[in-house]
Chains A and B, each alone.
Chain A
Amino acid sequence: AQSVTQLDSQVPVFEEAPVELRCNYSSSVSVYLFWYVQYPNQGLQLLLKYLSGSTLVESINGFEAEFNKSQTSFHLRKPSVHISDTAEYFCAVAPNTGNQFYFGTGTSLTVIP
C-alpha cells in the first residue's frame, strides 16, 4: 500500500524568503514522485517530477525537489519566493505498477508582501 504525508497544512512565508514544503511517502514498491500546484479556482498543474536518475529535479519557475530514498522524502524547495507562488501544493506518488496515483492532503503556501 502507498501513502503520502504532507507535514504542514499551511506555510506562511515572506516574499523573497526561502521555503521548504515537506513530503514523505511510504510504499512497498518503487514509485514515481510528483509535485502539483493549484492556483485559486483552478485545477492542479504538474510542477515537477522524479522518475529516475538524478535525485534533484527542477521546475521552470525556480522550484526544486530532492528524492531521498533512505528517508522516503521528496521535499519541495525554493530559495526565494514571489507573491505569485501563493497556491496549494500537492505531493503525489505513483507506483511503477498499477494505474492509481496517491496524493497528500496539500500544503497551502501563502507569500506575504
Chain B
Amino acid sequence: DVKVTQSSRYLVKRTGEKVFLECVQDMDHENMFWYRQDPGLGLRLIYFSYDVKMKEKGDIPEGYSVSREKKERFSLILESASTNQTSMYLCASSSLGGRASSGGYTFGSGTRLTVV
C-alpha cells in the first residue's frame, strides 16, 4: 500500500525552539506539499516542491522553511516556533500536473504540533 509517512503524530515544543517535521513518501511522486489545518480556515498551503532541491512558497510561508534533498523526503522547518504555529500539519504528495495529477493527492496522517 502506498504511503505518505509523517514522523510524529503529536509534538509539543517550547517557544523559540527550532522544529523539524519530516515527511516521506514511497510513491516516487514528484510533487510534495505542506499544509497547516486550523478550525474554520481549512487547509492552507505553506510550501510545495515539484522536484529535488526545488521549493515554492505557498499562501502562508512566513516563519517556515523547507528542505528537499531527496525525492522521497520533504521537511518542514519552523525556525523559531511561536504559539501561533500551534496547528495540525499535513504533508501530501502527487504526481506531476496535468493528467498525471488525476490520481489526486495522497496525504499523511498529520502532525499535531503544540507550541507552549
Contacts of B101 in A (CB 8 A): 32, 94, 96, 99, 101
Asked if A43 and B96 make an inter-chain contact with CB atoms under 8 angstroms apart, the answer reads no
Q: Measured between alpha carbons, how far is A80 from B4 in the docked complex, in Å?
A: 32
Q: Measured between alpha carbons, how far is A99 from B55 in the docked complex, in Å?
A: 12
Q: Which of B35-56 contact A (CB under 8 A)?
A: 40-43, 45, 48, 50
Q: Which residue of A lies closest to B41 (CB)?
A: A105
Partner pick for A100 among B40, B48, B106, CB 8 A cutoff: B48
Mark B34-78 against chain A: 1 for CB-CB distance below 8 A, else 0.
Answer: 000000111101001010000000000000000000000000000
Q: Measured between alpha carbons, how far is A51 from B30 in the docked complex, in Å?
A: 20
Asked if A43 and B90 make an inter-chain contact with CB atoms under 8 angstroms apart, the answer reads yes
Size band of the A side of the interface? 20 to 34
Contact of A34 with B31 at beta-carbon distance under 8 Å, contacts A90-B42, A96-B99, A104-B42 already known = no
Asked if A100 and B45 make an inter-chain contact with CB atoms under 8 angstroms apart, the answer reads yes
Mark B3-17 against chain A: 1 for CB-CB distance below 8 A, else 0.
Answer: 010000000000000
Q: Which residue of A lies closest to B45 (CB)?
A: A100
Asked if B48 and A97 make an inter-chain contact with CB atoms under 8 angstroms apart, the answer reads no
Q: Measured between alpha carbons, how far is A43 from B50 in the docked complex, in Å?
A: 21
Contact of A94 with B102 at beta-carbon distance under 8 Å, contacts A44-B90, A99-B97, A103-B42 already known = yes
A62 at the interface (CB under 8 A from B): no
Q: Which of A11-42 contact B (CB under 8 A)?
A: 32, 34, 36, 41-42
Shortest CB-to-CB span from A62 to chain B, Å, is: 20
Asked if A99 and B107 make an inter-chain contact with CB atoms under 8 angstroms apart, the answer reads no
Contacts of A68 in B (CB 8 A): none
Mark A98-110 against chain B: 1 for CB-CB distance below 8 A, else 0.
Answer: 1111011110000
Asked if B107 and A43 make an inter-chain contact with CB atoms under 8 angstroms apart, the answer reads yes
Asked if B110 and A46 make an inter-chain contact with CB atoms under 8 angstroms apart, the answer reads no
Asked if B97 and A97 make an inter-chain contact with CB atoms under 8 angstroms apart, the answer reads yes
Partner pick for A99 among B31, B42, B43, B108, CB 8 A cutoff: B31
Given A42-B109, A44-B92, A92-B104, 15 extra CB contacts under 8 A: A43-B107, A44-B90, A45-B107, A46-B106, A49-B104, A92-B105, A94-B97, A94-B101, A97-B97, A98-B98, A99-B50, A101-B105, A105-B40, A105-B41, A106-B42
